[in-house]
Structure 1
Amino acid sequence: MATPFSLKPTLRGELVILRPIRAEDADVIGALICDDEEIAILTGAVHSRDEEFTGPSLDELRGIYGAWAHAEDRLVLGVIDRATGDLVGEVVLNDWDAGNRSCGFRTLLGAAGRGRGLGTEATRLIVEHGLRTMGLHRITLEVYDLNPRARHVYEKVGFVHEGTGRDALLLDGAWIDVHYMAILGS
């Protein structure tokens, strides 16, 4: 059965192109994750700044991204920096709830894609696609308190803070809150 996530569009902005993810993108995404310790910290993948992130192997990542390229329960788009043509991250609509026309959102942007508005534009493009083209009513996300840069981007795009999960992440012996945010369509 086809779902709204079956269609894998290419979305174009002034700064980025969002295109369907491919299995071979795992090589770049894997390098982004391994080369940028900030990603593991900001996503809660480690519990100490000294902890080395050990995620899936490259072969496992290729399998994951290959499956996501055709998945009907999520939309994963690679973020291409128009200035360089490089893949700098990904944006994802997932956790689809058909009955409530809602889903979750997450993003991963490597250091080369930060600080130039690429994340804001990529977020805006995929959220507008979800709400307008796919007919979603609600898109949600979670962001840790230690990531105010991401929260600022989400607020600029229109996400609203709906609540806080206290002490959701233990990092370097300190508890970090998580914030729940959502944006609504019509």
Structure 2
Amino acid sequence: MPFDFQPTFKGALVELRPLRPDDADDLFAVASDLLIWEQHLIRDRYKPDVFSTFFLESLTSRGALAVLDCKDGRIIGSSRFHAYNAQAREVEIGWTFLARSHWGRKYNREIKQLMLRHAFRFVKRVVFLIGSQNVRSQKAIEKLGSIRVGSRPDTAGRDSYVYEITSVPA
């Protein structure tokens, strides 16, 4: 069975669905907060032209998901499946960002739990590639039980840590 990169999920807090072209304005409203990007490798995604490139890359990846708040249906972020390797039985989850109004609560945890639950229907290992300066994301993924297993350059040659998880956290 081939990996489904753009499923739809609904949890208690969030709904994840495939990212659509008409999500651009709503997602930019979230992404335009420069503090979201302060620890990311690409720190200027809050700028319209940089975000536009990121958004188009997200759409063409065919693995990007919009994250909606179940309370009001508003887009509060995005995440993505990437780099599925059927032979190694692994997939990457990344490019996640969330409105600051939803930080420090259970939203990111639920997003990742939903994505992990889906991924483990197809794979034995999920990988997260996180920039070495992105301590906030490193801590968030460690809270889920991910373990740092090494480092490698990302696709642009920037230093990143490799984390892995092999089961859905409780």
TM class by shorter chain equals 0.7 to 0.9
Deviation at 1:110, TM superposition (A): 2.1
Assess if the C-alpha contact under 8 Å between 1:76 and 1:92 holds in 2.
yes
Runs of 4+ in 1 over 6 A off after TM superposition: none
| Structure (1 or 2) with the larger CA radius of gyration | 1
Q: Secondary structure at the match of 2:141?
A: helix
TM-score (norm 1): 0.72
Q: CA RMSD in A?
A: 3.1
Q: Where does structure 1 lack aligned partners over 5 or more consecutive residues? A: 170-176
Structure 1 stretch 150-159 or stretch 78-87: which is displaced more?
150-159
Deviation at 1:12, TM superposition (A): 1.6
Identical-residue share of aligned pairs (%): 24
Identify the residue that residue 80 of structure 1 maps to in structure 2: 68
Deviation at 1:54, TM superposition (A): 4.6
Deviation at 1:13, TM superposition (A): 1.3
Identify the residue that residue 173 of structure 1 maps to in structure 2: none
Identify the residue that residue 141 of structure 2 maps to in structure 1: 154
For residues 47-126 of structure 1, the aligned pairs below 5 Å read: 54-57=49-52, 61=55, 63-68=56-61, 71=62, 75-106=63-94, 107-126=96-115
Identify the residue that residue 41 of structure 2 maps to in structure 1: 44
Q: Where does structure 2 lack aligned partners over 5 or more consecutive residues? A: none
- Return closer, same or farther for 1:121/1:41 CA change in 2, 3 Å cut-off: same
Deviation at 1:164, TM superposition (A): 4.3
- Return closer, same or farther for 1:129/1:57 CA change in 2, 3 Å cut-off: closer
TM-score (norm 2): 0.78
Assess if the C-alpha contact under 8 Å between 2:41 and 2:133 holds in 1.
no
Amino acid paired to 1:118: Y
